[in-house]
Structure 1
């Protein structure tokens, strides 16, 4: 059976489709506004005339490439191509600004590859067991997971934790706009029909990161003609980086696989959790935000670990791990295949072909990424007078293409102005994005849990999983404070 799967997955035509899928995914991931889900959805109609192996492996190639591709624009332009790369932009762009763009991209590429490979092995070896565990999550567990994610705001707040929490609260407040999922009541819409569906966090992210950066470039255009750039002397990480990469990839690739296997949780949450935990465990946590290599490796390992993790419940139980996996379920259904336990019995060669294809797609991603680093970094020598209008255009097109609605462009522009002023006062916009992403998840599951338990708050501590996340929340809050106290005592002694 494995031989049949190898022959199926390693056909020249299948390899060509996967290579083109990975290359196209990287290109899609680089562009602000074209999310991984959108990229896979755009390619889906092309697969209708293909057989099952060709179609699903092409989509997997786009998936792997797009998750990685978002880090390229995040590092080079401080413009996350996808939400999953927002955490990478914090330190990745700082490294690029000091002339280490090649090294930052090399760390990102290799960490993404290793995180994806680790998720492949989990997918192959323990997918049924991990998927069964992930299905034990209900509303209380999802709420505790969301609160754990929100605690990471203290790690990504920049110089002021208080301002970071205020920005996070502002993000959560924005997330409450729209029709309430449980009661059906319109909240903070002010009669504007465009707000009934809420504020999409993609235009907000494009505004806070990309448009604000374009405004800064316009301001500095009269001071200097080119972006800060130096000749790229190497595309591989330094010798001392490799140990860090392998350590982070093993830890946070596993974390990303676990998070990806939980239905409804995506790569964006995984990358922020990895960034926060990496900072908590680091001996140089005070340097985060200035271009720390761990802060690039950890989120990139985690968000690429999600690629394999999201396929675990999809293949074993027919439950999508994220929005991309939901599209892939549709692709399999079109081919007459029903994801779930019977897929392993009736179409074993297709399942193993998916396993092998995911490994091959990550290899293609590594090869394309490393071979193109010097090409990517050429963007840093483009004159600002040329690059800035392109960034403006991508911001407008990316925001409008989400729903073909000019209101999203207005939202993007407003948050671009807001993000510009945040940059002027040196406040990180990342907590706002985190609040927007995790706010709805926390609120809806908190209320569902109370409805299920008839108002009993002890439901949030009724399972071992809830207690596990509660302990992690306490560690996330108090461990950084404990580290500061210990360091002060050491310095005093």
Structure 2
């Protein structure tokens, strides 16, 4: 405990500089704005803003990008409650009861409950990251190339199981991501592969190009094809602070939601997105009167919003300690760290303790800022929500193109982003989820590197991955991966899984 507090003291020392506080505030404000305005999302925004971070120091850059991610979770609830449109995928559940509360003239209480629940969950999640950071980093230092490869295999198996839609489609997306990661120059021989003679592909596909295409451009196309339907609440927002009766009803859902979100956020794949859904299901199951849900039950806002924010922050645990991104946003954070010359993994804590603990401390500061930003600015967000999306999309696309061009100053990158945008749109129409593809893409290069290293050490023997005497951790991770896949493929479990995602 004393060690953790001393580490946090170092972190707050780093985070409490004027520049880092300003960057944290900027990230939280931009994230909230992105959450409030449906159609972009944190993945595309982080991909768009990567070039801006080039001139910043790594700690400040990551503090700002992290603020965008968890700020978007806050902003998404505002749209869900006031307009019945989830600004973020994780805010889908909040629309069910939050919007009904707004229709009943209790919009302020719904917004206040969501903000306070999120702040509490964020504070707890920050402490969880601080507590698990050092032990997990020490464990990761025991890992060799074989263990890292097996860990990434396990991560991708979880991503397949937790992805929306069919397991076969998720598996295809992972495989496609791994295939795209091999485009470029061979790690050892220096020979070009899968470039088809295109000079722009000799260095491989940039993670920002892929992310911006399949999440930014494709999302804009998807939103343009659907007519705008806004159920803007005309009633007064009312008081923002819940009374004692509301607080009593919300305390247990907030505690349960925080626990569920914190655990699911660590899981690779779709863990953080599943948190709010799982929390809502639990609250409805244990409620004395389940029929209240969907008609303005405050528990249906408090639990999912707490799970949402807790999951968004604990998603940083596997990234910072093991170097494994659990979702698409964290995959882009890997790209940001690599751009700044930082290799994600256990070395971050030992070689860059100021970055590691500064980023964790900034999360608590960011949560406090979000509480201060969101509640007074509700009126401004309502005004923004009245702007038609068709007027926003050209500006969004222009910013995307400028951002992509400034990464490498190559016009070809803009063309590739547009192609990936069309491809991403086609994937969405065919029922494929693009997030596993980005995860496979980011892990692909690292997996190939670790696979080759492990085989060189073992002189080409694949037995090294299941050698129970010398590599028990590697064997254990592969067994867990196999069990997770096998369970998900069982007919009864598969049917239940499909039902859950449909609901």
Aligned counterparts of 1:173 and 1:22: Cα–Cα separation in 2? 36
1:484 aligns with 2:492: yes
- Counterpart of 2:482 (choices 457, 465, 474) is 474
Distance 1:15 1:438 in 2: 34
The answer for the alignment partner of 1:132 in structure 2 is 138
Q: Per the alignment, in what secondary structure is the counterpart of residue 431 of structure 2? A: coil
* Alignment partners' CA distance in 2, 1:464 and 1:297: 37
Secondary structure, aligned partner of 1:162: helix
2:422 paired residue number? 417
Q: 2:125 aligns with which of 112, 118, 131?
A: 118
- Closer, same or farther in 2 for the Cα pair 1:447/1:104, shift >3 Å? farther
Change (3 A) 1:328 1:169: closer
Identify the match of residue 23 of structure 1 among 20, 25, 30. 25
- In structure 2, what is the Cα distance between the partners aligned to 1:218 and 1:352? 42
Structure 2 partner of 1:385: 390
How many angstroms apart in 2 are the aligned matches of 1:371 and 1:313?
Answer: 38
1:434-473 superposed matches below 5 A? 434-462=439-467, 463-473=471-481
Which residue in the other structure is 2:405 paired with? 400
1:248–1:298 contact (8 Å) kept in structure 2: yes
Q: 2:436 aligns with which of 431, 436, 439?
A: 431
What 5-or-longer segments of structure 2 have no aligned partner?
A: 35-41, 81-86, 283-293, 295-299, 324-332, 343-347
Q: Distance in 2 between matches of 1:442 and 1:7?
A: 33
Distance 2:95 2:456 in 1: 49
Summarize the Cα distance change of 1:229–1:477 in structure 2 as closer, same or farther, 3 Å threshold.
farther
Give, in whole Å, the separation in 2 of the partners of 1:394 and 1:355. Answer: 29
Q: How many residues align?
A: 428
Q: How many angstroms apart in 1 are the aligned matches of 2:359 and 2:438? A: 33
Displacement, 1:213?
2.5
Aligned 8 A contact 1:208 1:418 in 2: yes
Question: Does the CA-based 8 Å contact 1:227-1:380 persist in structure 2?
Answer: no
Cα distance in 1 for partners of 2:10, 2:205 equals 47
What's the offset of the Cα at 1:381?
3.0
Cα distance, 1:486 vs. partner? 10
Question: Quick one: distance in 2 between partners of 1:297 and 1:181?
Answer: 43
Partner-residue secondary structure (3-state), 2:407: coil
User: Could you tell me which residue of structure 2 aligns to residue 51 of structure 1?
Assistant: none
| Superposition deviation, residue 195 in structure 1 | 0.6
Instruction: State the partner residue of 2:290.
Output: none
Q: Output the CA distance in 1 between the equivalents of 2:422 and 2:352.
A: 50
Q: CA RMSD in A?
A: 5.2
**Aligned with 1:455: secondary structure?**
coil
Structure 1 residues 143, 216: CA separation in 2 closer, same or farther (over 3 Å shift)? same
Conservation of the 8 A alpha-carbon contact between 1:168 and 1:434? yes
Q: Following superposition of structure 1 onto structure 2, how do residues 217-366 of structure 1 map, counting pairs within 5 Å?
A: 217-220=223-226, 224=227, 226-231=228-233, 243=252, 246-247=255-256, 249-250=258-259, 253=262, 272-275=270-273, 300-305=309-314, 359-366=364-371
Q: How far apart, CA to CA, are the structure 1 residues paired with 2:270 and 2:394?
A: 30
1:79-112 deviation line (CA, Å, top 9, x unaligned): xxxxxxxxx9545468669985997998699558
- Alignment-derived partner of residue 264 in structure 1: none
Match of 2:68 among 66, 69, 74: 66
1:456–1:121: structure 2 CA closer, same or farther, 3 Å change rule? same
Cα deviation digits, residues 435-478 of structure 1 (max 9, x gap) = 21222232222222111211222222343432342243134213
Mean Cα deviation higher: 367-376 or 403-412: 367-376
The alpha-carbon deviation at position 386 of structure 1 amounts to 0.6
Worse overlay, 464-473 or 92-101: 92-101
TM-score, normalised on structure 2?
A: 0.65
Q: What stretches of structure 1 of length at least 5 have no aligned partner?
A: 46-55, 79-87, 260-268, 285-290, 315-320, 331-338
